[in-house]
Amino acid sequence: MPDVRKVQAILRSHPTIEGAGVRLKRAFGFSEVPDMDPFLLLDDFHSENPMDYIAGFPWHPHRGIETVTYMIRGEVKHGDSMGNKGSINSGDIQWMTAGSGIIHQEMPQRISGLMQGFQLWVNLPASHKMMKPRYRGITKDQVPEIIDEEGVRIVLISGAVNNVIGPVRDLVVDIEYLDVLVPANRRFNHAVNKGYCAFAYVFGGSGFFDAKANNRAESENLVIFGDGDEVMIRSDEKALRLLLVSGKPIGEQVAWRGPIVMNTRKELDIAFEEYQNGTFIKENGLS
- How does DSSP assign 145-167, residue by residue? EEE-TT--EEEEEESEETTEE-S
Predicted local confidence at residue 287, as pLDDT: 35
Instruction: Please state whether beta strands 255-257 and 39-47 pair in parallel, antiparallel, or not at all (unpaired).
Output: unpaired
Q: How large is the greatest C-alpha to C-alpha distance in the chain, in angstroms?
A: 58
Cβ atoms within 10 Å of 133's Cβ, excluding its own: 28
Spatial separation of the C-alpha atoms in residues 257 and 272, rounded to whole Å: 9
Name residue 245's beta-bridge partners: 177, 199
Predicted local confidence at residue 283, as pLDDT: 63
Q: Output the CA–CA distances (angstroms, integers) from residue 250 to 35, 147, 197, 229, in the order listed.
A: 12, 32, 10, 19
Spatial separation of the C-alpha atoms in residues 247 and 159, rounded to whole Å: 10
Spatial separation of the C-alpha atoms in residues 71 and 44, rounded to whole Å: 10
What's this model's pTM, rounded to 2 decimal places? 0.95
Domain extents in the chain: 7-262+269-277
Predicted local confidence at residue 113, as pLDDT: 96
Predicted local confidence at residue 60, as pLDDT: 95
Spatial separation of the C-alpha atoms in residues 128 and 6, rounded to whole Å: 32
* CATH number corresponding to 7-262+269-277: 2.60.120.10
Predicted local confidence at residue 169, as pLDDT: 85
Predicted local confidence at residue 216, as pLDDT: 94
Predicted local confidence at residue 2, as pLDDT: 82
Spatial separation of the C-alpha atoms in residues 76 and 88, rounded to whole Å: 5
Three-class SS of residue 268?
helix
Q: What is the phi/psi pair of residue 224, to 5°?
A: -105, 120
Per-residue model confidence as pLDDT tens for the chain (287 residues) = 789 999 999 999 999 999 999 999 999 998 888 899 999 999 999 999 999 999 999 999 999 999 999 999 999 999 999 999 999 999 999 999 999 999 999 999 999 999 999 999 999 999 999 999 999 999 999 999 999 988 999 999 999 999 999 999 889 999 999 999 999 999 999 999 999 999 999 999 999 998 887 889 999 999 999 999 999 999 999 999 999 999 999 999 999 999 999 999 999 999 999 999 999 998 653 33
